[in-house]
Amino acid sequence: MPNASDPMQTLTVTLGPRSYPIHIGGGLLSNETLWAAARERPLRLITDAHVAAHYLQPVATALQLPNTSIRILPPGEPTKSLANVEAIMDWLLETRLPRDGWLVALGGGVIGDLVGFCASIYQRGVDFVQVPTTLLAQVDSSVGGKTGVNHARGKNMIGAFHQPRLVLADTDTLKTLPRRELLAGIAEVIKYGMLGDAAFLDWIEQHLDGLLELRDADIAYAVRRSCEMKADIVARDERESSVRALLNLGHTFAHAIETYTGYTQWLHGEAVGTGLCMAADLSARLGWIGRDEADRCIALVGRSGLPTRPPQGMTGDDFGRLMALDKKVASGQLRLVLMRAVGDAVLTADFDPDALRQTLAAFTTAAD
């Protein structure tokens, strides 16, 4: 059971018959009560080798899983592949998982996205449980039902919306997370404050040291508040036809950086950190937020240890070319998520292109 100093919190993603709980707290992996519904089902668990080394044993024990029901994949983004989807389909069919069986995704966003996608297509869809073990997965990818794999022609190009039955975010697992991966998750936490909750942004500023030191109460609150915001947005717009796009604050700049660097040098969250700085700068140039407010957001990203500028050598032209490929381009017009006030984001094509050029120049020329 979770101990008293780190009580479990439960939120609900409200989606009618597809509603599900998110449990957040310490000691959840081995909490047999939380696993009760899953234990009534035939189960298959998929994880990666890093996560398995730390957390497979408590989960397998709580679920009474035999080794034949467990699959351990190599860690890393290349695991999110169609080849692995096919291998998992073979395994599920060979081991005869029935339609009322559940999949369990134990790991970061890579495992969550891959397993969720497998669950969406196996026998036209089975249920699955997200057990996110990175900060990014706990505050973002495990909630909301976006699943998928990469294709040689693009990241996340093959996928489906498929909501989990249950999310178990055990914050104790973050203690073994490599530092860079922790910071990548912090970028997404800062994003929530900037896009929708100025008071949360204040809180992050005040508790950043606690977050970086993984103080239980601070981490639990940051995960809870981020999940609350994501759950609320997903409940209002499950398939990203409106407000869900706001979750992409900073992401158009970030995707350009990730494409420029070939998805190998920068972690997604690191690129988001810089993207948040660029979105804040542009919002200030448009006069929507004060310069002091933009500087405050940039300073927070910097204090976290995240990069605040794009990679050396990346030019404004590189950004222009790569941002034109963004999924949010509609009828040939670039749309960006910007801040019309701190804690109040908007998706818009209605911005002065000169201001964008100035932001790109300010963030690239000096870095050359």
Ligand X SMILES: NC(=O)c1ccc[n+]([C@@H]2O[C@H](COP(=O)([O-])OP(=O)(O)OC[C@H]3O[C@@H](n4cnc5c(N)ncnc54)[C@H](O)[C@@H]3O)[C@@H](O)[C@H]2O)c1
Q: So which residues are the catalytic ones?
A: 124, 146, 188, 230, 240, 244, 248, 251, 255, 268
Structure tokens of 288? 């929507």
How many residues touch ligand X under the rule CB under 6 A: the total is: 29
What is the rounded distance in angstroms from the CA atom of residue 139 to the CA atom of residue 209? 18
Binding to ligand X (CB under 6 A) within 289-348 occurs at none
| Cα 162–Cα 154–Cα 85 angle in degrees, nearest 5 | 45
The distance of closest approach from Cβ of residue 3 to ligand X in the complex, given in angstroms and rounded to an integer, is: 19
Inter-axis angle of helices 251-260 and 268-285, to 10 degrees? 130
Of 80 and 224, nearer to ligand X (C-beta) is 80
* Contact by Cβ (8 Å): 82, 118: no
Binding to ligand X (CB under 6 A) within 115-144 occurs at 133-134, 136-137, 140-141, 144
Stretch that binds ligand X, among 46-54, 86-94, 273-281, 312-320 (CB under 6 A): 46-54
Among 2, 25, 75, 193, binds ligand X (CB under 6 A): 75
* Exposed/middle/buried for residue 93 (C-beta within 10 Å: 0-12, 13-18, 19+): exposed
The distance of closest approach from Cβ of residue 354 to ligand X in the complex, given in angstroms and rounded to an integer, is: 32
State how far the alpha carbon of 51 is from the alpha carbons of 54, 148, 166, 199, 205, in Å.
Answer: 5, 20, 19, 34, 30
What is the rounded distance in angstroms from the CA atom of residue 55 to the CA atom of residue 70? 13
State how far the alpha carbon of 250 is from the alpha carbons of 40, 58, 83, in Å.
Answer: 42, 37, 31
Of 75 and 310, nearer to ligand X (C-beta) is 75
Among 224, 268, 328, 335, binds ligand X (CB under 6 A): 268
Of 89, 104, 91, nearest to 45 by C-alpha is 104
Of 139 and 289, nearer to ligand X (C-beta) is 139
Among 6, 28, 48, 346, binds ligand X (CB under 6 A): 48
Among 25, 26, 109, 307, binds ligand X (CB under 6 A): 109
* Contact by Cβ (8 Å): 364, 310: yes
First to last CA, the chain: 53
The distance of closest approach from Cβ of residue 291 to ligand X in the complex, given in angstroms and rounded to an integer, is: 30
The distance of closest approach from Cβ of residue 117 to ligand X in the complex, given in angstroms and rounded to an integer, is: 9
The one-letter code for the residue type at 91 is W
Kind plus residue range of the DSSP H or E element containing 125? none
Tell me the per-residue interface mask from 164 to 183 with ligand X, x by CB under 6 A, - otherwise: ---------x--xx---x--
Q: Which residues pair with 169 in a beta bridge?
A: 24
Of 127 and 293, nearer to ligand X (C-beta) is 127
Among 107, 164, 310, 316, binds ligand X (CB under 6 A): 107
Which positions lie near ligand X, rule CB under 6 A? 48, 50-51, 54, 75-77, 80, 107-111, 113, 133-134, 136-137, 140-141, 144, 146, 156, 173, 176-177, 181, 184, 268
